[in-house]
Amino acid sequence: MQQKTRIAPSILAADFARLGAEIEAVDKAGADYIHVDVMDGHFVPNISFGPAVTKAVRGVTKKTFDVHLMISPVDPYIEAFVDAGADIITVHPEAGAHTHRTLQSIKSFGKKAGISLNPGTPVEVVDNLIDLCDLILVMSVNPGFGGQKFIDSQLAKIEAIRKRIDATGRAIDLEVDGGVTAETAPRCIAAGADVLVAGSAVFKGGPDAYAANIAAIRGDG
């Protein structure tokens, strides 16, 4: 059963000179999760930040820290992000040889575990992992950069994963990341998504605009 729509602003689009204040601002503006995009310049063609920055800003909000690890190899860094305050840790199946073991590792620390599917990753990848998943993330752009255009073909993947989640009877988050705006969000929700990651669409216009931006993506305004 699809859960209520939650919004996870990606801090990759925030003003890094004021990162703590930016997270506080989107928290107050109605964010449900804080989406933390970690990029290594190897698995994806960009570098963002690591566990030290994640830990530094953890204390400014009590909202769920939704940490998306776009790094390879991923296994050596799981514990560091646990220690940094991650609540959910999402990994890519291409980022290690044994994704099932990686998800087991995340859950062994008492954290929620997620799997992320790139646009070219087949939906069937989740079939032997879903029993360990608390979140499944559909990338609706190729990861590595913010501000990209939504890839329409991923809507069918969202629908296919929605059916798989519903068949489990479990409340697994179905998250979409990439090109999510007030215009594309309703299509994602209609396809079955219940967590929407948005970067530039949330952080445009400065702190005074964040509440209206979040409401527009959620469909409240």
| Catalytic residue check, 177 | yes
Cα distance between residue 14 and residue 1, in whole Å: 32
50 annotated as ligand-binding: no
| Catalytic residue check, 131 | no
Cα distance between residue 175 and residue 54, in whole Å: 21
Cα distance between residue 77 and residue 32, in whole Å: 25
114 annotated as ligand-binding: no
Q: Of 40, 66, 134, 177, which residue is the catalytic one?
A: 177
147 annotated as ligand-binding: yes
144 annotated as ligand-binding: yes
59 annotated as ligand-binding: no
User: Would you state the structure tokens that stand for residue 192, as one six-digit string?
Assistant: 């079955």
- CB environment 29-48: b (16+ within 10 A), e (fewer): bbbbbbbbbbbbeebbeeeb
Cα distance between residue 178 and residue 200, in whole Å: 10
- CB environment 58-78: b (16+ within 10 A), e (fewer): bebbebbbbbbbbbbebbebb
- 206 φ/ψ sector (left φ>0, alpha ψ -120 to 50, else beta): left
Q: Of 37, 66, 87, 194, which residue is the catalytic one?
A: 37
199 annotated as ligand-binding: yes
178 annotated as ligand-binding: yes
219 annotated as ligand-binding: no
108 annotated as ligand-binding: no
146 annotated as ligand-binding: yes
85 annotated as ligand-binding: no
Of 133, 75, 26, 86, the closest CA to residue 125 belongs to 133
Residues annotated within a binding site for substrate: 10, 68, 144-147, 177-179, 199-200
Q: Write out the binding residues for a divalent metal cation.
A: 35, 37, 68, 177
**Catalytic residue list:** 37, 177
Binding residues: 10, 35, 37, 68, 144-147, 177-179, 199-200
